């Protein structure tokens, strides 16, 4: 017997992937340029939180734009190169571990996004920010988009730039101090990372001492 079709319509359609509709709509309303901003590194025990802001060229949209977490390392690197080659403006900003400890990771992430937008060589008239919060101190109108990296090409591009940049920072940190293996886990709480912390303690200016397990000790 064939299953009965549901008579309960979906409350909303889940997007199959990011697109450029929000940006084009804003352009028809004379809100152009439009920047997307996103961050990488909210959850790790070590390293900075990194944010990027990107203004894409509508006539040269790169292939392969998607939520950076859905892409492989190779796909992210290819997309990163395409973004920085074709975008009208790209900016990256960081907030270090010590500054994260001085406030909290939410505030630090929003501040990194604000700095990234402020660093764009072209001032946007609208910013699309990933998440639920609008970063304070934006120079123009800003809209928060929940799961924006899966809805907007501009935010997806920013997520890729932020992720690739942060991974490169952590890889260099691993080369400087091989005890922790930062280049393998990017500062996340893997078993290898936790074992290294137990053996060597936290690394000054690199580990987030306000995070567990440091906070409990």
Residue 216 lies in a domain: no
Neighbours of 28 (CB within 10 A): 8
* Residue whose token pair is 């080659």: 85
- Report the C-alpha gap between 170 and 173 in whole angstroms: 5
* Nearest residue to 129 (alpha-carbon basis) of 151, 105, 107, 104: 151
The rounded distance, in Å, linking the Cα atoms of 139 and 101 is: 26
Range of the domain at 85: 21-200
List residues bridging with 128 in a β-sheet: 36, 143
Q: DSSP for 63-92?
A: TT-S-GGGS-HHHHHHHHHHHHHH-SEEEE
Rounded CA separation 128/46 (Å) = 27
Q: What is the pLDDT of residue 25?
A: 97
Q: Give tens-digit pLDDT for 134-160.
A: 999 999 999 999 999 999 999 999 999
- pLDDT score recorded for residue 9: 45
Cα–Cα distance, 103 to 136 (Å, whole number): 15
Report residue 31 CA to chain centroid gap.
23
Q: Does residue 175 belong to any structural domain of this protein?
A: yes
Whether residue 135 lies inside any domain: the answer is yes
What's the CATH number where 99 sits?
A: 3.30.420.10
- What six digits make up the tokens of 113? 């996004």
Query: What is the H or E stretch that residue 53 is in?
Result: strand 49-55
Q: Which pLDDT does position 215 carry in this prediction?
A: 76
Structural domain count, the chain: 1
- Decide if 5 is inside a domain: no
List the chain residues with pLDDT less than 50: 1-11
Q: Report the alpha-carbon distance of residue 208 to residue 162 in Å, rounded.
A: 19
In a domain, 159, yes or no: yes
Asked if residue 67 is part of any domain, the answer here is yes
Q: What is the pTM of this model?
A: 0.91
Residue 76: predicted pLDDT:
98
Q: Is residue 214 part of a domain?
A: no
Residue 16 within any structural domain of the chain: no
DSSP-derived secondary structure for 143-190: EEETTGGGTBHHHHHHHHHHHHHHHHHHHHHHHH-TTS-HHHHTT---
Report yes or no: 135 and 110 within 8 Å, Cβ to Cβ.
yes
pLDDT value at residue 3:
46
Residue 9, Cβ neighbours under 10 Å: how many?
Answer: 7
């Amino acid at each position: 017997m064939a299953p009965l079709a549901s008579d309960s319509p979906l409350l909303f359609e889940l997007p199959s992937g990011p697109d450029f509709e929000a940006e084009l709509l804003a352009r028809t309303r004379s809100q152009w340029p439009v920047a997307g901003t996103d961050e990488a590194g909210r959850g790790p025990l070590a390293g900075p939180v990194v944010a990027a802001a990107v203004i894409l060229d509508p006539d040269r949209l790169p292939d392969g734009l998607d939520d950076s977490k859905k892409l492989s390392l190779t796909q992210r690197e290819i997309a990163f190169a395409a973004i920085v080659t074709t975008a009208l403006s790209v900016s990256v900003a960081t907030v270090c571990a010590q500054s994260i400890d001085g406030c909290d990771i939410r505030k630090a992430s929003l501040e990194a996004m604000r700095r990234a937008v402020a660093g764009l060589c072209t001032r946007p008239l609208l910013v699309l920010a990933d998440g639920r919060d609008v970063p304070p101190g934006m120079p123009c109108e800003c809209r928060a988009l929940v799961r924006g990296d899966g809805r907007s090409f501009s935010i997806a591009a920013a997520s890729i730039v932020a992720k690739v940049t942060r991974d490169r920072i952590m890889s260099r940190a691993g080369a400087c101090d091989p005890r922790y293996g930062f280049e393998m886990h990017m500062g996340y709480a893997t078993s290898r990372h936790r074992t290294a912390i137990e053996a060597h303690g936290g690394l000054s200016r690199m580990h987030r001492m306000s995070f567990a397990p440091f906070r409990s000790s």
